[in-house]
C-alpha cells in the first residue's frame, strides 16, 4: 500500500494565509456568539448579568464532562473494527495518523448503517473514528483515505473542542431565552393592567437569540470543514481522492431522490442552513490545488476495494427510531 509523498500543493505563504483566514473566521464567529450571550444576559439582569452569564458559561464549559469516545460509540451501537477484520484499512489509518503527527492512532469503529457517513470524537491523545457500513462498501480505498484524513484533520485541529465551546454557549443562550420568555408569560396579567412594563427590544432579543446562535454554529461548522479538506489533501497528497469521495457522497445521498423527483433540478437549500459547505465548492477547491503542481501523479497505488469479513453483514432495512435519534 503506497500513498504519494506529503506535498504542499499551495505555497507556504498561501497555506499560512488560508489558515489565518479560517482562524480569524472562527474567532469572529465565537466572539459573535459571546456577544449574543452577553446581550441576552443584559436584557434580563443588566451589566451584572453579563458578567455572571459569561462566568457561568465559562464554568459550564470548563467542567463539562469529558465523555470518553467509547461511550459515544456505544450510543451509536458502533462495533470496534479490529485489525484482523480490516488489516488494509488499519494500515491506512496508521499511515495517515503518523503523517498527521497524532500522538496515538484513533480507534476504528463500524456502524451498521447503509448511510454513507463518518465522524470522529475525542482528543488527539485519545480519539475514535466511526465509519458506516454503507461508506465502506461504496467507496474505494483511495476515497476512504481522503475521508479518514478529513476526520483525522478534525481531531488534529481540535475542531471538536471548538464546536463543543460553541455548543455550550448556544445551550446557555437557549436557557436564558427560555427563562426570559417564562418571566414574560408569568407577568403577562400585570403587563395587561399596566402594573409592569417590559422593554420589547429585549423581548425580541430573547426570542430570536437561539436562532441567531444556531446560524453562527452552522457558519462555524462550514469554516472548519474547508480547513479539514485542505489538511486532508496535505496528509494524503491526493486531493482528487477526497474530491471523488465527496462527489460520490453527494450522488448517493444528496441527489439520488432529487434526480428521481426533480430531473435536472435541485431542491433549493438555503446556504445559511447548511452544516457543511456546498459539495461543488469543496470539490472545486480541492481540485484547484493541482494548478500549482500539474505534474503530480493522480493515480494512487491502493487496493481498489475493502473486503469486510462475513460476520459484518451488509446493513439493510428501513430506519427506526432509537435514542438519541434515527439509526439503522
What whole-number distance in Å separates Cα of residue 179 and Cα of residue 206? 9
Determine the length of the chain.
Answer: 328
In angstroms, the Cα distances linking 121 to 129, 148, 212, 230 are 7, 13, 26, 20
Cell of 56: 457561568
Q: Which helix (H) or strand (E) holds 44?
A: helix 12-45
**Phi, psi angle pair for 120, to nearest 5°:** -120, 150
3-state SS assignment for residue 50: helix
β-strand partners of 119: 130
Work out the number of other CB atoms within 10 angstroms of the CB of residue 8: 14
Cell of 289: 490545488
- Within 46-158, residue ranges assigned H as helices are 47-62, 69-75, 87-99, 133-138, 141-156
CA neighbor of 142 nearest in space, from 310, 36, 301, 8 = 301
C-alpha dihedral (281, 170, 327, 131), degrees to nearest 10: 50
Work out the number of other CB atoms within 10 angstroms of the CB of residue 290: 16
Cell of 60: 459550564
- Residue 258 annotated to the active site: no
Q: Considering Cα of 124, then 128, then 131, then 132, what sign does the dihedral take?
A: negative
What one-character DSSP code corresponds to residue 301? B
The one catalytic residue among 143, 151, 259, 297 = 151
CA neighbor of 76 nearest in space, from 118, 123, 125, 138 = 118
Rounded CA Rg of the chain: 23
Show which residues are catalytic. Answer: 151
Amino acid at each position: 500500500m503506497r500513498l504519494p509523498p506529503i506535498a504542499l500543493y499551495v505555497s507556504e505563504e498561501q497555506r499560512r494565509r488560508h489558515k489565518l483566514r479560517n482562524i480569524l473566521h472562527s474567532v469572529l464567529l465565537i466572539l459573535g456568539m459571546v456577544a449574543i450571550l452577553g446581550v441576552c444576559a443584559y436584557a434580563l439582569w443588566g451589566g451584572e448579568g453579563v458578567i455572571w452569564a459569561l462566568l457561568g458559561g465559562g464554568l459550564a464549559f470548563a467542567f463539562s464532562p469529558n465523555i470518553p469516545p467509547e461511550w459515544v460509540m456505544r450510543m451509536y451501537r458502533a462495533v470496534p473494527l479490529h485489525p484482523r477484520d480490516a488489516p488494509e484499512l488499519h494500515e491506512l489509518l496508521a499511515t495517515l495518523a503518523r503523517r498527521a503527527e497524532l500522538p496515538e492512532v484513533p480507534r476504528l469503529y463500524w456502524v451498521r448503517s447503509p448511510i454513507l457517513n463518518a465522524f470522529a470524537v475525542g482528543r488527539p491523545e485519545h480519539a475514535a473514528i466511526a465509519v458506516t457500513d454503507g461508506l465502506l462498501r461504496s467507496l474505494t480505498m483511495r476515497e476512504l483515505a481522503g475521508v479518514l484524513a478529513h476526520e483525522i484533520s478534525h481531531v488534529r485541529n481540535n475542531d471538536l473542542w471548538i464546536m463543543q465551546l460553541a455548543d455550550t454557549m448556544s445551550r446557555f443562550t437557549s436557557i436564558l431565552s427560555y427563562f426570559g420568555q417564562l418571566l414574560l408569560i408569568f407577568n403577562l396579567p400585570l403587563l395587561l393592567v399596566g402594573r409592569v412594563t417590559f422593554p420589547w427590544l429585549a423581548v425580541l432579543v430573547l426570542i430570536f437569540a437561539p436562532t441567531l446562535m444556531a446560524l453562527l454554529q452552522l457558519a462555524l461548522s462550514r469554516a472548519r470543514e474547508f480547513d479539514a479538506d485542505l489538511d486532508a489533501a496535505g496528509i494524503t497528497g491526493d486531493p482528487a481522492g477526497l474530491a471523488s469521495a465527496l462527489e460520490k457522497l453527494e450522488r448517493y445521498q444528496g441527489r439520488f431522490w432529487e434526480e428521481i423527483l426533480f430531473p435536472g433540478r435541485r431542491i433549493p437549500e438555503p446556504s445559511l442552513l447548511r452544516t457543511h459547505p456546498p459539495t461543488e465548492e469543496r470539490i472545486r477547491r480541492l481540485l484547484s490545488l493541482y494548478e500549482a503542481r500539474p505534474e503530480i501523479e493522480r493515480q494512487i497505488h491502493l487496493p481498489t476495494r475493502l473486503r469486510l469479513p462475513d460476520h459484518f453483514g451488509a446493513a439493510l432495512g428501513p430506519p427506526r427510531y432509537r435514542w438519541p435519534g434515527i439509526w439503522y
